[in-house]
Chain A
């Protein structure tokens, strides 16, 4: 229940013009779509849990633009947001997800045996491999809108489900507010610990309320499978390991996710999913698979190549610094991952990353030897 917008009815006493946000200097997907006529149409609506139009767009109003990327500028407060505010979110989704239409259907495929190759990325170049996604528990409000009681219920359910994992997935939960100094330091050293969000994109949507209540990190004993509870989504699920065996990372990812879904179902809870939007998450940018599969890879020569950006674009890949989103690369090491989330299945996205990174490494090797890479230029996927 973010700030001051719960009294939507009273706002209706003021005209649309009086309430319409000033988006004249804004550059995000929300600002492109939300014209006064649409604001007028949607402002009287709210989801069954009371999430309103202004709640959806607050982060986009407060954050006019981002230096590196075109941000979405809106969030969902619950599963119904995507339905009630369809007329705003469908065009945003279409714009953000490469033309995905309101009538399109999204494929889910978490069968790792459908992935070809991926177990042999050259570890002279690939330092680490990682796959992440998110999951929301149906029936609970999302981080921008949830009450403390709901957030705690999500934590309790998650801890119970994760506690039932066995074998190489067996692990332990660390609640943010209870962890010892030693545990905290270990989690930092392992690069597992997430901190209270500082990005104004997240803060403005109310996701950091009540921090660190009901937030925590679960990971398996092997430190290769990790779940964040109640950060930007109900659950963020991460599979990772050093080296280039993406196939193994993805297999563990699928096994773990499927197992967790089963454990939740046994307790009478499903993940938020529908055949149009796939997995439903807080930010529209993470709909569909919510999947970001990537590697940390050394590309000192290729990254200076004049057509580096073009190559990535054609391969449907995205580069980030090794600190994650909004960071710069250090020492020629890049985080390379899939650019898409929605409209492709998990396996399809993994395949793009595996095949794409293989090609990038081949190009790097050629450039190292001073050879041309013109014949290697890919077609647009």
Chain B
């Protein structure tokens, strides 16, 4: 197979050479080679026509179901990525999970970087719907990790209890969690452990493998709210992400417990910067510094992150494309949260509320998790600024309501800058 992303574990040097060529020409190569990728996989086993295999999506409500017409299915069902990942595998989670009570789920995942290309006829409309009109065919995604551009970002700690920024990164050349073999997963772990071992100063830390951690270490990680567990959500388990648990899964964090990396959970890596209190600016500074440093360290060894100029950073779930960034605070808003205008205010500020347990939880008391709605089409700096400006506005509203003053619904801010 002559695919430019031939996934052979010993070809780090090959990947290194590609990275010297530069992201731009990689992207060109990516799209020019479309036909090649499309034919590169082995023939998928088919004894029934597509119409007999087409899933029953009549009771479904997710983005995949909205766009997987019989025609699209017929076109794509015989194809596979160079690694052998198929359409049926990509959509399995959406077939198995018809709908989610709170949110319209995406309903499909990528098994590798090439999935987004080979199954573009389905991924593109799904991405467009999920990311509010972002068109991967025509638009470009800006990446900006220069935290010095942030204005403000030091919240009133009477209201903001904690600040957090997270994203994900995938290691180019290795399959993603739904499809990876045990060897690939272990290689991801090895590459990441190697890199984070090179972090110094306030970023110096330690890795805790899920298979090897002691009871004591486990308890400490639970107390710190760092430990992630085997996924129970059927959205994830149906996509095959929990296979071989807990093999090659682990948690790394710095000694100060403000910078954290999850290895091989829902993505190759999830990177989290967090602190108690309201200093979002510092949280984001550490976030950028840490991310860029880890990137530099893996590049030294000939590896790089999956990225292209249309989709930004490539992650398992299409909902996390672009920046993969969720920047948020835990904030107490007792009066504002009871105001009927609260949802509209959040909407116009392009913010999302969740309970303090994260996605799919309810708020406790009047403390909410408030974070950016968008992931793709705006840069990291832009999204974090949006959160900072938005949370400041919410706090202003709360203060006004405290004094018996009225509040205003802000004008909707523009989405793609």
Residue numbers of A with Cβ under 8 A of B are 1-11, 13-15, 18-22, 49-50, 54, 58, 61-62, 147-150, 152-153, 177, 203-204, 208-211, 213
Query: Lowest 9 A-B CB distances belong to which pairs?
Result: A7-B84, A3-B240, A149-B48, A4-B179, A18-B183, A14-B183, A149-B52, A149-B53, A19-B183
CB contact between B179 and one of A3, A9, A147 (< 8 Å): that residue: A3
Interface residues of B in 31-46 (CB under 8 A from A): 41-42, 45
Distance in Å from the Cβ of A66 to the closest Cβ of chain B? 16
Q: B248 — nearest CB in chain A belongs to which residue?
A: A22
User: Which B residues touch A147, using CB under 8 A?
Assistant: 45, 47-48, 53, 88
How long is the Cα–Cα vector from A213 to B178 in the complex, in angstroms? 22
Interface residues in B168-220 by Cβ distance below 8 A to A read: 175, 178-184, 186-187, 211
Contact assessment for B96 and A211 in the assembled complex, using a CB-CB cutoff below 8 Å: yes
The docked-state distance in angstroms from the alpha carbon of A94 to that of B8 is 39
Q: Does B18 contact A (CB under 8 A)?
A: no
Contact B86 A1 (CB under 8 A): yes
A8 to B178 alpha-carbon distance, docked (Å)? 15
Q: How near does chain B come to A56, taking the closest CB pair, in angstroms?
A: 14
Listed A/B pairs (20) with beta-carbon separation below 8 Å: A2-B240, A3-B92, A3-B243, A5-B181, A6-B80, A7-B41, A7-B80, A7-B179, A10-B83, A10-B84, A10-B181, A15-B183, A18-B183, A21-B247, A61-B244, A147-B45, A150-B48, A177-B56, A177-B59, A210-B95
Q: Are B243 and A203 in contact (CB under 8 A)?
A: no
- A8 contact set on B, CB distance < 8 A: 84
Q: Do A3 and B178 touch across chains, with their CB atoms under 8 A apart?
A: yes
- Whether B85 is near chain A, meaning CB under 8 Å from some CB there, is yes
Q: Distance in Å from the Cβ of B233 to the closest Cβ of chain A?
A: 13
Q: Does B376 contact A (CB under 8 A)?
A: no
**Interface of chain B, helix or strand or loop or mixed?**
loop
B9 at the A/B interface (Cβ < 8 Å)?
Answer: yes
Q: State which residues 1-55 of B face A: CB under 8 Å.
A: 7-9, 41-42, 45, 47-49, 52-55
The answer to whether B111 has its CB under 8 Å from any CB of chain A is yes
Task: Tell me the B237-296 residues at the A interface (CB within 8 Å).
Answer: 237-240, 242-245, 247
- Interface hub of A50, A54, A149, A152 (most chain B Cβ within 10 A): A149
Q: What residues of B have a CB within 8 angstroms of the CB of A153 in the complex?
A: 48, 52
B86 A22 Cβ-Cβ under 8 A: no
Would you call A22 and B55 a contact (CB within 8 A)?
A: no
Which of A2, A6, A61, A149 makes the CB contact (< 8 A) with B84? A6
User: A209 — which chain B residues lie within 8 A by C-beta?
Assistant: 92, 95-96, 238
How many A-B Cβ pairs are below 8 Å? 112
Partner of B181, one of A4, A22, A62: A4
Q: Is the CB of B181 within 8 A of A14?
A: yes
A1 to B44, CA, bound (A): 10
- A22 CA / B182 CA spacing, docked (Å): 9
Does B347 sit at the interface, judged by CB under 8 A?
Answer: no
- CB-CB under 8 A from B187, the residues of chain A are 18
B243 contacts which of A10, A19, A62 (Cβ < 8 Å)? A62
Residues of A within 8 A of B211 (CB): 22
How far is B7's CA from A15's CA once the two chains are assembled, in angstroms? 14
B193 to chain A, nearest CB (A): 16
Contact of B247 among A2, A10, A22, A49 (CB under 8 A): A22
Nearest A residue to B95 via CB reads: A210
Residues of B within 8 A of A152 (CB): 52
Show the binding face of B for A, using Cβ within 8 Å: 7-9, 41-42, 45, 47-49, 52-56, 59, 80, 83-86, 88-89, 92, 95-96, 111, 175, 178-184, 186-187, 211, 237-240, 242-245, 247
Expressed in whole angstroms, the minimum distance between the Cβ of B77 and any Cβ of chain A is 10
Instruction: Using CB atoms, name the residue of chain A closest to B7.
Output: A10
Shortest CB-to-CB span from A163 to chain B, Å, is 21
Asked if A3 contacts B239 (CB within 8 A), the reply is yes
Is A1 a contact of B89 with CB atoms below 8 Å? Answer: yes
Give the docked Cα–Cα distance between A4 and B90 (Å).
10
Q: A62-B243, A203-B237, A209-B96 are in contact. Are A50 and B181 (CB under 8 A)?
A: no
A18-B55 in contact (CB<8A): no
Q: How far is the CA of A8 from the CA of B89 in the complex (A)?
A: 15
How far in angstroms is the closest Cβ of chain B from A357? 40
Residues of B within 8 Å of A50, CB to CB, are 45
Q: Which residues of chain A are within 8 angstroms of B49 by Cβ–Cβ distance?
A: 149
Given contacts A4-B243, A6-B86, A147-B88, 15 further A-B contacts (CB under 8 A): A7-B83, A7-B85, A8-B84, A13-B9, A18-B183, A19-B181, A54-B181, A61-B243, A62-B245, A177-B59, A208-B96, A209-B238, A210-B55, A210-B92, A210-B95
Q: How far is the CB of B232 from chain A (nearest CB, A)?
A: 10
Q: Are B92 and A21 interface neighbours, CB within 8 A?
A: no
**B210: min CB distance to chain A, Å:** 11
Residues of chain A within 8 A of B45, CB atoms compared: 1, 49-50, 147
Residues of B within 8 A of A14 (CB): 9, 181, 183-184
Separation of A13 and B181 alpha carbons in the complex (Å): 11
Query: How many angstroms between the C-alpha atoms of A213 and B91 in the bound complex?
Result: 15
Question: How many angstroms from the CA of A10 to the CA of B175 in the assembled complex?
Answer: 11
Q: Which residues of B contact A2 (CB under 8 A)?
A: 240
Q: How far is the CA of A255 from the CA of B96 in the complex (A)?
A: 37
In Å, the complex CA distance between A18 and B181 comes to 9
Residue numbers in A under 8 Å from B41 (CB-CB): 7
Contact B240 A1 (CB under 8 A): no
Cβ of A354 to closest chain B Cβ, rounded Å: 42
- Output the least CB separation between B54 and chain A (Å): 8
Contacts of B8 in A (CB 8 A): 13
Contact yes or no, B96 A21, CB < 8 A: no
The closest CB in chain A to the CB of B8 belongs to: A13
Q: Which of B55, B59, B111, B182 contacts A21 (CB 8 A)?
A: B182
CB contacts (< 8 Å) of A10 on chain B: these are 7, 83-84, 181
B69 vs chain A, min Cβ distance (A): 16
**Contact of B182 with A18 in the complex, beta carbons under 8 Å:** yes
Taking the closest CB of chain A, its distance from the CB of B1, in whole angstroms, is 9
Contact of B182 with A213 in the complex, beta carbons under 8 Å: no
Within the complex, the shortest CB–CB distance from A60 to chain B, in Å, comes to 11
- Hey, which chain B residues are within 8 Å of A204, CB to CB? 243
B179 touches A18 (CB 8 A): no
Q: Are A148 and B183 in contact (CB under 8 A)?
A: no
The CA of A147 and the CA of B111, in the complex, are separated in Å by: 19
A58 to B7, CA, bound (A): 23
Return the chain A residue nearest B58 by Cβ: A177
Also in contact, A19 and B47, with CB within 8 A (given A7-B83, A7-B84, A62-B242): no
The answer to whether B42 touches A9, judged by C-beta atoms less than 8 angstroms apart, is: yes
Q: Which residue of A lies closest to B50 (CB)?
A: A149
Whether the pair B111, A213 counts as a contact (CB closer than 8 A) is no
How many Å lie between the Cα of A4 and that of B59 in the bound state? Answer: 26
Which residues from chain A contact B80 at a C-beta distance below 8 Å? Answer: 6-7
CA distance A177 to B55 in the complex (A): 13
Evaluate contact between B53 and A148: CB separation under 8 angstroms: yes
CA distance A211 to B93 in the complex (A): 11
Cα of A1 to Cα of B9 in the assembled complex, Å: 25
| B56 and A3 form a contact (CB under 8 A) | no
Docked complex Cα distance between A2 and B244 (Å): 14
Which residues of the other chain, A, contact B54 by a CB distance below 8 angstroms? Answer: 148
Output the least CB separation between A146 and chain B (Å). 11
